[in-house]
Chain A
Amino acid sequence: MKNRLKVLRAERDWSQSDLADALDVSRQTINALETGKYDPSLPLAFKIARLFALPIEAIFEDTP
């Protein structure tokens, strides 16, 4: 699954640690999400969507 986390983070000039703190997860989680190595659980995806004030589909894109 592709996502725009890195772009959204860069737009706000946040580091991975900043985003990790805001979402209450580890920096490794953010790193793995951004590099596409890990897909978040639904609760974490909603949390990310709330943080960026965007719908989930605007952040995550299903790739067949």
Chain B
Amino acid sequence: MSATEKPKAIFSPRRLVSVAALGVCGAAFGYVTGDWFAERFPNGGGFGYLAEQGYPPMTIISLVLGGILLLAYVGSAIIYALAIFNKGIAGNRALTGGLGNNPSSRKAFPYILAFYVSYAAIFGVVTLYEALPNLPTSLAWPMFLIGLASSMVMVWSGHKLWFILDEFFRTIWVEACALASFIMLVIALVAACAISAGLMPEVTIYTGLVLYQIIYLIAYGYVAGKRDPNMLEMGEPEDA
């Protein structure tokens, strides 16, 4: 695009058609899978099973969402592992969280991989204990050590990433963290009041952790989308 050309309109017909097509595909997928689950699990499937085991509804929702998040982290780790070797995947900014295929991003991929692997490991341990709180005590120390080692790798890789990525990505990171933390603080305060007043049942720290992660992902998408208009383009964008 030349320097004098007008920027693309946000609501271009092509974009509207793409969003509409995605919406139709999503609705069709939801209908088909929902129908399949309803037929296959007339008593609620996993939800029904967990309810029969005595899990409170909030814990069941947290475990399902936590399981989806865990899968997403493992999937992200696989994508970043592939991006280290495959330029096509590295250049797909929608897959690499807006990083794209440039020197600083390529340098960052191994550390992001380490971050996601360690994050998935520690979150997996926490999810396991939430799902099966009566695990044998002989597993306590190994599980704790896995969590401790994973958190140390997270700190190390996060520290490396802070200096590898440039100030633009650091700004997005900080703003997303600040926004998510503030929203979570307000929710935690309101929930604490409601629980103390007996208006809602007690929730576990795990539920709060899952909620925070979902809020952070939304906050990151919002901040990155505002700052980087080409964040979700499949390839490298044209010069603005």
Q: Are B169 and A26 in contact (CB under 8 A)?
A: yes
Q: Are A38 and B227 in contact (CB under 8 A)?
A: yes
The chain B residues found within 8 Å of chain A, CB to CB, are 2-3, 7, 98-100, 102-105, 165-169, 171, 226-231, 236-237, 239-240
Q: Are B240 and A28 in contact (CB under 8 A)?
A: no
Binary contact track A1-37/B, C-beta < 8 Å → 1, others 0: 0000011011000011100110011111101101101
* B84, chain A: closest CB distance, angstroms: 17
Main secondary structure of the interface of A (DSSP, over half): helix
A35 in contact with B167 given A27-B102, A28-B98, A28-B100 (CB within 8 Å): no
Residue of B nearest to A7 (CB): B3
Other A-B pairs beyond A26-B169, A28-B231, A38-B168, 13, CB < 8 Å: A7-B3, A16-B239, A24-B166, A25-B166, A25-B168, A26-B165, A28-B99, A28-B228, A32-B227, A32-B228, A35-B240, A37-B226, A38-B227
Which residues of A lie under 8 Å from residue B165 when comparing CB positions? 26
The chain A residues found within 8 Å of chain B, CB to CB, are 6-7, 9-10, 15-17, 20-21, 24-29, 31-32, 34-35, 37-38, 40-41, 44
Which residues of B lie under 8 Å from residue A44 when comparing CB positions? 167
Q: B3, B105, B226 — which one has the most chain A CB atoms within 10 A of its CB?
A: B3
Main secondary structure of the interface of B (DSSP, over half): loop
In the assembled complex, the Cα of A44 lies from the Cα of B171 at a distance in Å of: 13
Q: Are A29 and B239 in contact (CB under 8 A)?
A: no
Q: Are A31 and B166 in contact (CB under 8 A)?
A: no
Q: Are A10 and B7 in contact (CB under 8 A)?
A: no
Q: Are B167 and A40 in contact (CB under 8 A)?
A: yes
Q: Are B230 and A28 in contact (CB under 8 A)?
A: yes
Task: Say which residue of A16, A17, A29 sits within 8 Å of B166 (CB atoms).
Answer: A29
A16 in contact with B169 given A10-B2, A28-B100, A31-B230 (CB within 8 Å): no
30 A-B pairs, CB-CB below 8 angstroms?
Answer: A6-B3, A9-B3, A10-B3, A16-B239, A17-B102, A24-B166, A25-B166, A25-B168, A26-B99, A26-B105, A26-B165, A26-B166, A27-B100, A27-B102, A28-B100, A28-B228, A29-B168, A31-B228, A31-B230, A31-B237, A32-B227, A32-B228, A32-B229, A34-B240, A37-B227, A37-B228, A37-B229, A38-B168, A40-B167, A41-B167
